[in-house]
Amino acid sequence: MAFFLRLILLISFLVYLGAFSWGLYYSDEEYKQIFIKMLTSAAGLSIIVAFFALWLTLENFLRKTNLNISGKVEVFSISELNKKESYDSGVSSFQLNNYKDKTVIIYKVFLKIEKGHFIKLLDVRKKPILLKAYDTHFHDFKQPLFYNLANTPKRISRIDLTKSNLYLDTNEGRYKVRKAIKHWNPSANKILIPLTTDCNYELGKRFIVTDHNWLNRDYYIEFDQEEIEISGIIISLKEINNSKELESLLNLKFSAISRFSVSEPSKDVANEYPQWKDSTFL
C-alpha cells in the first residue's frame, strides 16, 4: 500500500508539471506568458508547496501504520546431525528490528520450517515484548535436545533452519518478519580487534614502588630516572637492573623485611598477555 500511495502522489505531481510543460511548448507566445505567470504566481507556487506538504504528511502517516520489522536468526552448529546422542539443531538467537514510529506488542515468536511446521521460540503472553519505535530486541536460547509434536518426540537436525522465516503474534495479528539486511564485515585478515587489559598497569613507568608502611603509598619511577627519594633518603637507581634488585635494596636500606614491594609494569603485562611482546608494527 505504501508503494502505491507514493506512486500515485508522484504521478500526480509529474502530471501537473507535464501539463505546464506541454502548455509552454505548444502554445503561442501570448499563452506562454500566461502559463509562466500562472506557474510563478502565488497560487502556482502554493500548489507545488502543497505537493511537498502532502508528501511529508503521507510519509508521517506511513511511519505510523502497518508493521515493518526485520529479523535475523542464528542457529546452533551441529557436528553430528544423524546421531541420537547429540543435541538437536535449533535457534541459538534471534534479533528483531522495528523500522516504524510505533510500538509493537509481541506475544509469541515462531519459526516456520518445512512441511508447514512451526517451532515455538517464545510464548510471552503474560509479559509481552514491547518492541518500541526504531528499537531492536535480541533473545538467545539454550540448545534443545529434541522437540515435542502433539506429544510425539521429534528431531529436526536434517532441516536447514537458516532458510526458515520468523512469524510473530502481535497486537496487530500475525506478522511475517522480513529478512534483515546482512551485516557487513571486511575480510577477516583485515580486521584489527582491540585487546584491552582488566586493570591499569601504568605502562610507561619503569618501576612502581609500594611502601606498605604508609598505607600502600606508591612511588612511580620513570625509565630515565636516576634516583628516588623516600622518607628523606635518596637512593640511586643507576645500578638497578630489575624489580627484585630494587626491592632488596630498599628493604635493606630501611632495615625492613617486606616493607617495600616493587613491580615492573611491562613484565607484568608480558606475563599476563604473552602475545603483547610478540606483537609487530603494522
Q: 0.75 cut: is pTM over it?
A: no
- Let me know if 73 is exposed, middle or buried by CB neighbors in 10 A (0-12, 13-18, 19+): buried
Q: What is the pLDDT of residue 83?
A: 55
- Let me know if 232 is exposed, middle or buried by CB neighbors in 10 A (0-12, 13-18, 19+): exposed
Residue 82 pLDDT greater than 70, yes or no: no
Average pLDDT over residues 184-201: 81
Q: Dig out the grid coordinates for 43 from the structure.
A: 497560487
- DSSP run (H or E) holding 227: strand 227-230
Query: CA angle 95-98-104, nearest 5°?
Result: 105
| Tens of pLDDT, residues 249-268 | 888 888 877 888 999 988 88
CA 83 to chain centroid: 36
Average pLDDT over residues 120-137: 93
Higher pLDDT, 59 or 158: 158
Higher pLDDT, 135 or 180: 135
Q: Give the percent of the chain with pLDDT over 70.
A: 82
Distance in angstroms (rounded) separating the CA atoms of residues 13 and 19:
10
User: Where is mean pLDDT largest: 62-66, 108-112, 215-219, 237-241?
Assistant: 108-112
Could you tell me the pLDDT band of residue 202, with boundaries at 50, 70 and 90? Answer: confident
